[in-house]
Structure 1
Amino acid sequence: MIPAVLYAVPAFLLLIVVEAVSYRFAPDDDERGYELRDTATSLTMGAGSQVIGFPWKLLTVGLYAGLWALAPVQLSPASVWTWVLLFVADDLAYYWFHRTHHEVRLFWASHVVHHSSRFYNLSTALRQSWTPMTSLPFWLPLALLGIPPWMIFLQQSVSLLYQFFLHTERVRVLPRPVEWVFNTPSHHRVHHGVNAEYLDRNYGGILIVWDRLFGTFEPERAPARYGLTTNIGTYHPLRVATHEYAAIWADVRAAASWRHRLGHLFRRPGWRPPPAPAVAVRAAQGAR
């Protein structure tokens, strides 16, 4: 089974070239454009994610098929309502997958790859994780709803194709009804921004209504600064793929208790344990 998104790779590469050339002939001081090493890293991460993800996808097919066989009702792909349910359920699953991968550090260690570029262009869309197994739990309910596994994978590919086009500064703001309902380049620039007001906002895949519903929506008001709150300063693909796992391991090893170890794994990125009481007292005394 070849992932459907692979068929779009030639178009992705062509559009990346077109966008890069557009910066040559129509530069914009407010847009960062492309940088060769950054783009090469993004393409390498994308290629690696497909190679690593292929055998994992085969295992996932088997799991989805098993759950689908256990579903109380097996929905027919001939019904338009099955496709409507699939679209809504997939996009909701993506929202919670995406939000969890920002708000739980162990999951963030996988997703941080996608945010590690300080540029924002179509090649950034291809900068994907090499640990795809963290996505598994979020789509299992769709199989239990009775949606055939091949439909789930197809809709996941449709969502990824749509999101490719969100990663651009060349498209500013779309008509208001579109901006209200759908995820757009404007909304997704906010998501990639490290501006304080943009952190952990706009998780939607195709629809932005989930963010409006769950209180995570933020409109684009100021130009976004891209990258991480603390950038990693490397273009080496292996380090890009693993740097947060290494940081977690170091924090877990240095933790004073199991409670703190679990905190480093499952609390928000950037979480630190409170200082020990004696340390806190000395700090308070020193501040007087």
Structure 2
Amino acid sequence: MEESYPNIIMYAAPFLIFFAALEVFLAWYQEREYHDRKEVVTSVIVGLVNVAINLALKTLMLFPVVWVYNLVPWRMELNWWMLIPCYIIFDFASYWAHRISHGSRFWWATHVLHHSSDHYNLTVSFRLSWVQGIKLIFFLPVMLFGFHPVIFFVTNQIAVLFQFWVHTEYIKKLPKWVEYIFATPSNHRVHHGSQEQYIDKNYGATFIFWDRMLGTYEPEVEKPKYGITTPLKNKYNPIYVNFHEYIDIVDDVKKAKTFKEKLYFVFGNPTKIAKKKIPKLLRQKKRKIKSQ
């Protein structure tokens, strides 16, 4: 099984790097501020380490999918046309995995890296957490349908590749019917916006109609301001941008006075926690200024 399923992302990697580099060159040539050189380097390093981790943990990731497939009595044979229903169901699971990753701080820690860039370009698609493999648990319902493991993993890789092209400012709004169905660059730019009306909107990975159906859709009207609401201390350090939220969680849990408060700082809504902490941070800054 490990030797037989196609590693589409590895084959596509040279094309991804080419188009990302082309975008960097075009933006430089046209004098558009779509990139920060240090952010680009950070994104590339994060992406390369991710590839190495995925290769190293290939067997570990395969095991649960194959195990569930052998467990269910309604497992399906390998038929390529099953990619269609599998992709739709997989994308619905992706929507919820993404939504939960914004609603619970524990899972936000595995996703905040993707939002940490203050610019929006193709290299941002490389910013995927080094511990994102634990999100496989969200796709257990997809596995239980009995899709062949090859179908499951090909679907996963196609879904990942689809999300590459939406991370750009060069593609403006597409025809209405496309914007209505798919998570286009315009729809996904909204998701990366840090304005109040854009926060926690447009979770769809491939299809945006999940957001329309479930009340989380927001059209792109105002130009998004990218990045996270709480600035990072060191946004160019690949290790720090990967794990800074875990560091903050540990720090908050240590300071929490009750067990309930400790649980809240681990699993609570990250947006509400950030808003709760902002007044404290402002008071600390004022104290530092006065002392100086």
Q: TM-score, normalised by structure 1?
A: 0.89
CA separation of 1:144 and 1:193: change in aligned 2, threshold 3 A: same
Shift of 1:96: 0.8
Q: What corresponds to 2:246 in structure 1?
A: 245
Q: Is the 8 A contact 1:187 1:219 kept in 2?
A: yes
The alignment yields a C-alpha RMSD, in angstroms, of 1.7
After superposition, residues 252-263 of structure 1 pair within 5 angstroms as: 252-263=253-264
2:219 match: secondary structure? coil
Shift of 1:272: 4.3
Q: What corresponds to 2:121 in structure 1?
A: 121
Shift of 1:72: 2.4
Q: Is the 8 A contact 1:122 1:164 kept in 2?
A: yes
After superposition, residues 1-288 of structure 1 pair within 5 angstroms as: 1=2, 3-28=7-32, 32-78=33-79, 80=81, 82-234=82-234, 235-272=236-273
Q: CA separation in 2, counterparts of 1:65 and 1:83? A: 17
Q: Is the 8 A contact 1:107 1:134 kept in 2?
A: no
**Structure 2: which amino acid aligns with 1:123?**
T
**Structure 2: which amino acid aligns with 1:188?**
H
CA shift digits 1:240-287 (9 cap, x unpaired): 1110000000011111111111111111104449x9xxxxxxxxxxxx
Shift of 1:90: 0.8
Q: CA separation in 2, counterparts of 1:125 and 1:78? A: 30
Shift of 1:79: 6.4
Q: CA separation in 1, counterparts of 2:177 and 2:94? A: 22
CA separation of 1:79 and 1:47: change in aligned 2, threshold 3 A: closer
**Structure 2: which amino acid aligns with 1:253?**
K
Q: Is the 8 A contact 1:264 1:271 kept in 2?
A: no
Q: CA separation in 2, counterparts of 1:247 and 1:79? A: 45
Q: Is the 8 A contact 2:193 2:224 kept in 1?
A: yes
Q: Is the 8 A contact 1:71 1:146 kept in 2?
A: yes
Unaligned runs of 5+ in 2: 277-292
**Which 4+ residue blocks in structure 1 deviate beyond 4 angstroms?**
none
Q: CA separation in 2, counterparts of 1:122 and 1:272? A: 30
Shift of 1:224: 0.4
Unaligned runs of 5+ in 1: 276-288
More deviation in 5-14 or 168-177?
Answer: 5-14
Shift of 1:36: 1.2
2:108 match: secondary structure? helix
Q: CA separation in 2, counterparts of 1:226 and 1:73? A: 45
Identity %: 34
Shift of 1:83: 2.4
Q: CA separation in 1, counterparts of 2:70 and 2:79? A: 18
Q: CA separation in 2, counterparts of 1:168 and 1:85? A: 28
**Structure 2: which amino acid aligns with 1:195?**
Q
Q: CA separation in 2, counterparts of 1:133 and 1:83? A: 22
1:188 match: secondary structure? helix
Shift of 1:151: 1.1
Q: CA separation in 1, counterparts of 2:122 and 2:198? A: 20
Q: CA separation in 1, counterparts of 2:172 and 2:191? A: 15
CA separation of 1:130 and 1:196: change in aligned 2, threshold 3 A: same
Q: TM-score, normalised by structure 2?
A: 0.88
Q: CA separation in 2, counterparts of 1:4 and 1:164? A: 14
1:230 match: secondary structure? coil
CA shift digits 1:104-162 (9 cap, x unpaired): 10110110011100010001111110112331211112221110112111111101111
Q: CA separation in 2, counterparts of 1:258 and 1:19? A: 49
